Structure 1
């Protein structure tokens, strides 16, 4: 097992670049990228870094030269032969050759496109522009770089013993959470923590701890490189990015209202089984389900990613019942800001009513809260989102209005088109 504290203290950039591979990313990114490559490859998209936690002054903490060095390194990466063989030949979700030959040929030749970086006050403006399949692959590594550089900045002046104690305390905290969770009968839990992890080494350690501590209850990781390295399942389906871009491309209100369903119609052409998971909250769950075509009720499950999770699950259960489906045959995946106690609460509330699964993210791979002075390693909310498509602004409403994004006039239009009424704000922690 890697001695993380010593590696942090000795810090050798060549041994520990923040992003080690193009598949040091989330599995859903590759699935979505293949779908985009097939259906919308010429769409021009802009992604932008958004720090929702303005109290964290990233530009004051992170040296611009270091940031550029890490981003430039990512642009040199390409698939290794072993990584290509794994993607081409491995079985994912019970399916051989998940990734088509034309997509793999493109991916094997991919180098990430240029970025634009500028300091604005105490924050960084970081944007990526280009064809959708290329620029979308920047999201996860860009977030991982910013999160880890922030952590390195905080740890830089710590001594060897101080670091050993810090990581011992963090390991103990993680293991205590695992000990709580292992008591749950029928638990199914995956690591979703790549985007806002403390570091690659810490995410890898956390996955190893879950493998040993949870056994079969740990079903895999979203991180493709760790999945390959540890010979475990790669987990992931789709994300808000798809409906956000499809909606931005829609001509008129009628096409806009239809756009989220067009996304899933395209998805259904490629995937079945446990990859047919509905993510309903991009423009409000209630409106999405009210207008959903009947064929969606036959999908495998639903992911709850904003708003109150219990309310979201109850809404899903009632929707299935209303359409003659047995909720006990359906999967509900909770994935928003989870920690051990909330996982336990939701599992106890819903495990006998639906097939419950959890995607555990930031509070698995980046919970150093309260472990350093001034709480300087506390997790915070950093995202990288598509902000325009073919020159049109994107919008996200969410079930939590504090997560909404887009120009105010477009937000108002989307709320009208999708019938979004009063929403209850939820604190955005991560």
Structure 2
């Protein structure tokens, strides 16, 4: 097992780069990339970094030259033969050859496209613009680079034994969570922590701890590289990016109203089983389900990713019942801001009523809260979102208005089209 503290103390990024592989990203990005490659190959999309935690001034913490070196190194990466063999030949969600030959031939030649980097008001403005299926692959590398460089800026001020004690405390903190979770019967939990992890080495350690401590309760990781190396399931389905871009490409209000369902029509042409998961909150869960076509009720489940998770799950249960479906056969994946207390509470409430599962993210792979002075390693909310498609701005409403984005006039239009009324703000930690 890697001695992380010593590795950090001796850090030379060319030996230990932040992004070390084209598949050091979340599995859902590859699934979505293939769908976009087939269905929207001509769409031009812009992605941009958004720091929701404006009190953390990244441009004052992170050296621009070092940031560019890591971004440039990520651009030099390509798929290795072993990684290609794993993607082409492995079984994912019970299906062999998940990735089609034409997509794999393209991906094997893929290099991350150019980026644009500027400083403004103590923050970095980092953006990527180009063919959707190419620039979308920047999202996870961009986030992991910024998150880890911020962490390194703090760790670089610490001495050798301080680092040893810090990681010993962080390991103990995580293991105590694992010990609590393994006492919960019928629990199913996956690692969703790539995008805001403390570091690759730490995420890898967390996955190993979950494998040993939770056994069959741990069902896999979203990180493709770790899944390949540790021989565990790669977990993931789809994200808000798909309906946001489809909606931006809609030509009028009628097409806009149908865009979230058109996404899922295209998705089900390629996938079945546990990949048929609805993410309904992009433009409001309640309205999405009320207007949903009947065929969506037959899908495997729903992911709850914003708003009150209890309210979201209860809304889904009531919807399934109204469509003649048995909620006990449906999968509900909770994935928003989870830690062990919320996981346990939600499991106790919904176990037996649905097939509950949990995607544990930032507070699995980046919980160093309270371990250094001034809480300088606390996790923060950094995202990289599609902000425009073919020159039109994207919009996200969410079930939590604190997670919404888009120009005010477009947000108002989307609220009208999707009949979204008053929403209750919920504080966003991660």
**Normalised TM-score (structure 2):** 1.00
Corresponding residue for residue 420 of structure 1: 420
1:344 maps to: 344
Give the structure 1 partner of residue 408 of structure 2. Answer: 408
Corresponding residue of 1:115: 115
Residues 107-162 of structure 1 show CA distances to partners (whole Å, capped at 9, x for unaligned) of 00000100000010200000000000000000000000000000000000211100
- Superposed CA deviations along residues 194-236 of structure 1, whole A, max 9, x for unmatched, are 0000000000000000000000000000000000000000000
Matches within 5 A, 1:74-223: 74-223=74-223
Find runs of 4+ consecutive structure 1 residues off by over 4 angstroms.
none
Q: Which residue of structure 2 lines up, in the alignment, with residue 324 of structure 1?
A: 324
Alignment partner, residue 259 of structure 1: 259
Per the TM alignment, residue 63 of structure 1 is displaced from its structure 2 partner at its CA by: 0.2
What residue in structure 1 maps to residue 5 of structure 2?
5
User: C-alpha offsets along residues 67-90 of structure 1, whole Å, 9 cap, x if unaligned?
Assistant: 000000000000000000000000
Structure 2: tracts of 5 or more residues without a match: none
- Deviation at residue 59 of structure 1 after TM alignment: 0.3
Q: Aligned equivalents of 2:368 and 2:55: distance in 1?
A: 17
In 2, distance between residues paired with 1:121 and 1:256? 35
Residue 103 of structure 1 aligns to a residue whose secondary structure is helix
1:267-315 CA distances to partner (integer Å, 9 max, x unpaired)? Answer: 0000000000000000000110011000000000000000000000000
Aligned to 1:271: 271
CA distance in 2, matches of 1:406, 1:339: 29
Deviation by residue 1:18-59 (Cα, 9 ceiling, x = unmatched): 000010000000000000000001100000000000000000
C-alpha distance in structure 2 between counterparts of 1:115 and 1:265, whole Å: 32
SS of aligned partner of 1:75:
helix
Q: Which position in structure 2 is the counterpart of 1:234?
A: 234
**C-alpha deviations, 1:153-200, integer Å up to 9, x for none?**
000021110000000000000000000000110100000000000000
**Size of the alignment, in residue pairs?**
430
Aligned to 1:34: 34
User: Using the alignment, how far apart are the partners of 1:424 and 1:178 within structure 2?
Assistant: 32
Distance 1:402 1:303 in 2: 19
Q: Could you say which residue in structure 2 is the equivalent of 1:395?
A: 395
Specify the SS of the correspondent of 2:73.
helix
Structure 2 SS opposite 1:47: strand
Q: For 1:147 and 1:241, how far apart are their aligned partners in 2? A: 21
Q: Is 2:308 aligned against 1:308?
A: yes
* CA positional deviation for 1:103: 0.2
Cross-structure match for 1:361? 361
Gap runs ≥5 in structure 1: none
Partner residue, 2:25: 25
Give the TM-score taking structure 1 as reference length. Answer: 1.00
| CA displacement 1:2-27 (0-9 Å, x = unmatched) | 00000000002122100000100000
SS at match of 1:421: coil
Does residue 11 of structure 2 align to residue 48 of structure 1? no
Using the alignment, how far apart are the partners of 2:389 and 2:237 within structure 1? 22
In the alignment, structure 1 residue 377 sits paired with structure 2 residue 377: yes
State how far apart, in whole Å, the 1-side matches of 2:11 and 2:429 are: 30
